[in-house]
Amino acid sequence: MTKTVDVSQETAAILDKLGVARSAWTGGDMASFSPVSGEEIARLKTVSAAETATAIEAAHAAFKEWRLVPAPKRGELIRLLGEELRAAKEDLGRLVSIEAGKITSEGLGEVQEMIDICDFAVGLSRQLYGLTIATERPGHRMMETWHPLGVVGIISAFNFPVAVWSWNAALAIVCGNPVVWKPSEKTPLTALASQAIFERALARFGAAPKNLSQVLIGDRTIGEALVDHPKVALVSATGSTRMGKEVGPRLAKRFARSILELGGNNAGIVCPSADLDMALRAIAFGAMGTAGQRCTTLRRLFVHESVYDELVPRLKKAYASVSVGNPLETSALVGPLVDKLAFDGMQKALAAAKAEGGNVSGGERVAEAGKETAYYVKPAIVEMPKQAGPVLEETFAPILYVMKYSDFDAVLEDHNAVGAGLSSSIFTLNMQESERFLAADGSDCGIANVNIGTSGAEIGGAFGGEKETGGGRESGSDAWRAYMRRATNTVNYSKALPLAQGVTFDI
């Protein structure tokens, strides 16, 4: 039985419950739509360039205070944020489904990721340590100290509307930095909701400076203003490679730091010894999950000729049977594309694949009664004679290109022969193949997995990719270092002044 959901009404109820003022999302100049129904659900007020500059100045003032608060105390604020997120999980997860079109478990999963990074950051707040280093000079001590960096600008994409903010904000804040967030213009409401949740944590925390976290609603011009402002020390920008190609050089021009988390064109290799049942499930989730709109979505699949005729028909069967539909009303596994532009991009790529000799199954629009401006599609699986044309590019939609291979060295070459370098997988029970895939001459991606899919990373590891994916790392491991500045300190506690490298300078 399906229930009918009034998307606008439910949006309003959630925003009210989470404490987002109506004035922030009604009567403004920027319309916001739900991909679930295609309808307008809010009108937000955008900020001007002058307001952006004022917000950055205010964040800089907050920095001067916050950097002096002991890190474990800063961690306490993030602990409270984690508690508030736990309390708001159902509502915020639902809002992610409304605004980004994710199925229920993925909407909730995104909020869980926010909670997980808060837990991680709380522990980290007592572990921001540097090294002590052996010095060549007697009576000296050499060490590293890590200091807060400054205002952190966050630019985020529509497809992880809240998790990306939390990966950056939780770490930035325990590292002593305020954040200024420019969310995607396609998902501003979840940003306002996250900010409201943060403010609840802030109220419980008490003594924190004003403007520790701010949200700037607007289009890319607001992102550009963040990128160009001299008081923004680091910009963490998540989005397309096109965006990164614009943002990266602008930041480099003023020697600002960047974390660039850009597009992916992720591949999997299925070897002769692979556990095909396991591979099938991993491929299906990796390629069709989130309607192919994850940066880590599986887009290219190389299957060994000895298992091709067994695996590919099973995959096609899974594609033909997958449920596509309204994520608020049904338990469908595949929700909508974000908008018409995404649908057009998908159709264009499929036409180009056909022109390259591709054999396309799926890809057609799925009608949803009464939702003519929502774009639901059957995920497409395309058998390609070789890796060419659209296979070399990221199309942000559920298209899986499948290619047959016979030689392991050659398939590794093909695997790495694309611009992006985010995520990768191999399915094999052969240790020589799996180790080779993870070796220096194996996968060239920032994420290389064995017997699991390309998507669904945990927050404990550093997340990001190489080449046109931008080279940034966020989340776990030592990604925190990007949010701090390192000072090398040498202390002389002797009564002499020996110079390094044996240099003499006696005056």
264 binds ligand NAD (CB under 6 A): yes
396 binds ligand NAD (CB under 6 A): yes
Q: Which residue of 84, 113, 394, 444 would you call a contact of ligand NAD, by CB under 6 A?
A: 394
Catalytic residue of the set 10, 185, 261, 474: 261
Q: Are 243 and 165 in contact (CB under 8 A)?
A: no
Q: Which residue of 51, 91, 199, 246 would you call a contact of ligand NAD, by CB under 6 A?
A: 246
From 23-31, 103-111, 156-164, 429-437, give the range in contact with ligand NAD by CB under 6 A.
Answer: 156-164
Site size for ligand NAD, by CB under 6 A? 29
167 binds ligand NAD (CB under 6 A): no
Provide, rounded to whole angstroms, the least separation between the CB of residue 345 and ligand NAD. 10
Number of Cβ within 10 Å of residue 354's Cβ equals 14
The smaller minimum CB distance to ligand NAD, of residues 160 and 308, is found at 160
Provide, rounded to whole angstroms, the least separation between the CB of residue 160 and ligand NAD. 5
Q: Which residue of 47, 422, 479, 484 would you call a contact of ligand NAD, by CB under 6 A?
A: 422
CA dihedral sign, ordered 89, 94, 100, 105: positive
From 93-101, 243-251, 376-384, 431-439, give the range in contact with ligand NAD by CB under 6 A.
Answer: 243-251
Cα separation of 433 and 160, whole Å?
Answer: 33
408 binds ligand NAD (CB under 6 A): no
Cα separation of 316 and 287, whole Å?
Answer: 12
Q: Are 417 and 387 in contact (CB under 8 A)?
A: yes
Provide, rounded to whole angstroms, the least separation between the CB of residue 185 and ligand NAD. 5
Cα separation of 444 and 448, whole Å?
Answer: 8
Q: What is the dihedral of CA 61, 64, 68, 72, to 10 degrees?
A: 50
Q: Which residue of 10, 228, 261, 433 would you call a contact of ligand NAD, by CB under 6 A?
A: 261
Binding to ligand NAD in span 289-308, by CB under 6 A? 295
Place of tokens 């009210």: 16
Cα separation of 442 and 435, whole Å?
Answer: 8
476 binds ligand NAD (CB under 6 A): no
The smaller minimum CB distance to ligand NAD, of residues 285 and 396, is found at 396
Provide, rounded to whole angstroms, the least separation between the CB of residue 71 and ligand NAD. 26
Number of Cβ within 10 Å of residue 259's Cβ equals 23
Cα separation of 101 and 95, whole Å?
Answer: 9
- 261 counts as catalytic: yes
Provide, rounded to whole angstroms, the least separation between the CB of residue 462 and ligand NAD. 11
**Residue 144, φ and ψ in degrees, nearest 5:** -115, 140
Q: Are 485 and 149 in contact (CB under 8 A)?
A: yes
Number of Cβ within 10 Å of residue 196's Cβ equals 20
Q: What is the dihedral of CA 60, 62, 63, 65, to 10 degrees?
A: 140
From 236-244, 327-335, 356-364, 496-504, give the range in contact with ligand NAD by CB under 6 A.
Answer: 236-244
Cα separation of 95 and 108, whole Å?
Answer: 9
Provide, rounded to whole angstroms, the least separation between the CB of residue 379 and ligand NAD. 17
263 binds ligand NAD (CB under 6 A): yes
Q: Which residue of 44, 56, 71, 155 would you call a contact of ligand NAD, by CB under 6 A?
A: 155
Q: Which residue of 220, 316, 365, 485 would you call a contact of ligand NAD, by CB under 6 A?
A: 220
Provide, rounded to whole angstroms, the least separation between the CB of residue 291 and ligand NAD. 12
Cα separation of 34 and 88, whole Å?
Answer: 20
* Cβ neighbours for 78, distance < 8 A, ≥ 6 positions apart: 118, 121, 122, 125, 170, 173, 174, 201
Q: Give the x-and-dash track for 180-219 against ligand NAD (CB under 6 A).
A: --x-xx---------------------------------x
In degrees, rounded to 5, the angle at the alpha carbon of residue 46 between the alpha carbons of residues 41 and 52 is 145
Provide, rounded to whole angstroms, the least separation between the CB of residue 454 and ligand NAD. 12
Nearest to 262 by CA among 283, 250, 286, 246: 246
Q: Which residue of 159, 177, 258, 455 would you call a contact of ligand NAD, by CB under 6 A?
A: 159
427 binds ligand NAD (CB under 6 A): no
Binding to ligand NAD in span 109-128, by CB under 6 A? none
Helix (H) or strand (E) segment spanning residue 60 = helix 49-66
The smaller minimum CB distance to ligand NAD, of residues 312 and 392, is found at 392
In order of 74, 130, 242, 254, the CA distances from 234 in angstroms are 19, 20, 19, 11
For 126, half-sphere exposure in the C-beta direction (CA atoms, 13 angstrom radius) is: 5
What are the catalytic residues?
261
Q: Which residues bind ligand NAD (CB under 6 A)?
A: 155-160, 182, 184-185, 219-220, 223-224, 227, 238-240, 243, 246-247, 261-264, 295, 394, 396, 422, 469
